[in-house]
């Protein structure tokens, strides 16, 4: 391989390395800024390891150094004729620039598909658990604030979480009053049953902390008979509110899932 061929090869490799690095940084920044979750977890772990980005940057700098030095040597000793400047190079850079919006659109599209997939998984999982536990659901919907009902709800939530791995944190939400004020109480999977039996439970302990949008939704469910599920996703956190009614009474099953990486295959 002569100097001229080697210079051309190093130019191609250097250009490819630089363009790949720019795409890598752009994709990484877009996913971090917009909270997009697209790739499979093992692929994302590799992608997010910044050391590879640093090594890629160092390799690009080294390539550029070798490329320019070899070009100078080749021009000095071989007097290679430089190709005339034309529109081909400009068109190539314009094509590269136009590809960034396309990458961004693909990332948003992948994130949207991941969110839709996660919603379908949580909704179908909750529906199957509810259908398979009609007796427990009848007990849950017959809400009363005492230790017996709370322990039964805790055991039911623990069972629901074990029945479907996609439902790791299932809770039950009910409407109640405290000092003539409307409150929403939430009962989780894990409670100290022995302590609950010894001391009378207090409603203040179980008040659910929620946003205004969540409270408005729960008020519509308990007061207006709304039965639509509510799903939300934000930076890998997913939550589903699943209303259930029987005998004129209503409860809401809630599942929160934290997934480090949203993935289409999940």
Q: Across the chain, what does the average pLDDT equal?
A: 76
Token digits of residue 234: 């934000």
Lowest mean pLDDT among 33-42, 206-215, 231-240: 33-42
- To 10 degrees, what angle do helices 147-163 and 87-132 make? 130
Domains in the chain: boundaries? 3-83, 118-258
Q: What is the mean pLDDT of residues 93-112?
A: 76
Token digits of residue 161: 């979480």
pLDDT tens sequence across 42-73: 555 555 565 566 566 567 666 665 666 666 66
Token digits of residue 118: 């996660």
Q: What pLDDT is stored for residue 179 in this prediction?
A: 85
Q: What percent of the chain has pLDDT over 70?
A: 65
Beta-carbon contacts of 30 under 8 Å, excluding residues fewer than 6 positions away, are 36, 103, 104, 107
Q: What pLDDT is stored for residue 139 in this prediction?
A: 92
Q: What percent of the chain has pLDDT over 90?
A: 21
Q: What is the mean pLDDT of residues 27-56?
A: 62
Q: Which of 229, 219, 227 is nearest to 254 (CA)?
A: 229
Query: Which residues on adjacent β-strands are paired with residue 258?
Result: 237
Q: What pLDDT is stored for residue 220 in this prediction?
A: 94
Q: What pLDDT is stored for residue 58 in this prediction?
A: 61
pLDDT at 262 exceeding the cut of 50 = no
pLDDT tens sequence across 233-261: 877 678 899 999 998 899 999 998 765 54
Burial 108-121 (b: 16+ CB within 10 A, else e): eebbeebbeebbeb
Lowest mean pLDDT among 12-21, 47-56, 162-171: 47-56
Q: Is 181:150 a contact under the CB 8 Å cutoff?
A: no
Q: In which band, very low, low, confident or very high, does the pLDDT at 5 lie, cut at 50, 70 and 90? A: low
What is the distance between the alpha carbons of residues 127 and 242, in angstroms, rounded to a whole number?
Answer: 9
Cα–chain center distance at 20: 25
Radius of gyration (C-alpha) of the chain in whole angstroms: 29
pLDDT at 3 exceeding the cut of 70 = no
Q: What pLDDT is stored for residue 10 in this prediction?
A: 62
pLDDT tens sequence across 136-162: 999 999 999 988 898 899 889 988 888
CB-count exposure of residue 223 (10 Å: 0-12, 13-18, 19+): exposed
Pick the residue with more confidence: 63 or 230? 230
Pick the residue with more confidence: 54 or 110? 110
Q: Is 251:141 a contact under the CB 8 Å cutoff?
A: yes
Q: What is the mean pLDDT of residues 185-204?
A: 79
Q: What pLDDT is stored for residue 264 in this prediction?
A: 39
Q: Which of 76, 53, 81, 70 is nearest to 10 (CA)?
A: 70
Domain at 118-258: CATH code = 3.30.450
Q: Which of 126, 145, 137 is nearest to 207 (CA)?
A: 145
């Amino acid at each position: 391989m002569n100097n001229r061929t080697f210079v051309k090869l190093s130019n191609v490799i250097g250009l490819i390395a630089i363009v790949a690095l720019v795409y890598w940084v752009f994709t990484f920044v877009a996913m971090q800024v917009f909270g997009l979750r697209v790739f499979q977890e093992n692929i994302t772990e590799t992608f997010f390891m910044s050391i590879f980005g640093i090594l890629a940057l160092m390799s690009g700098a080294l390539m550029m150094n070798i490329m320019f030095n070899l070009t100078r040597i080749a021009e000095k000793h071989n007097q290679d004729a430089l190709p005339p400047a034309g529109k081909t190079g400009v068109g190539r850079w314009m094509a590269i620039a136009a590809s960034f919006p396309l990458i961004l659109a693909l990332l948003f599209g992948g994130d949207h598909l991941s969110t839709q997939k996660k919603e379908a998984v949580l909704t179908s999982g909750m529906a199957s658990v509810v259908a398979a536990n009609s007796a427990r659901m009848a007990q849950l919907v017959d809400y009363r604030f005492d230790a017996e009902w709370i322990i039964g709800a805790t055991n039911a939530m623990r069972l629901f979480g074990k029945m479907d791995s996609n439902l790791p944190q299932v809770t039950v939400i009910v409407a109640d009053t405290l000092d003539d004020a409307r409150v929403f109480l939430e009962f989780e999977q894990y409670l100290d049953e022995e302590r609950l039996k010894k001391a009378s439970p207090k409603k203040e302990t179980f008040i659910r902390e929620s946003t205004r949008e969540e409270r408005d939704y729960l008020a519509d469910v308990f007061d207006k008979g709304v039965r639509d599920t509510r799903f939300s996703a934000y930076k890998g956190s997913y939550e589903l509110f699943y209303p259930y009614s029987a005998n004129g009474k209503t409860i809401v099953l809630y599942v929160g899932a934290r997934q480090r990486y949203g993935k289409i295959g999940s």
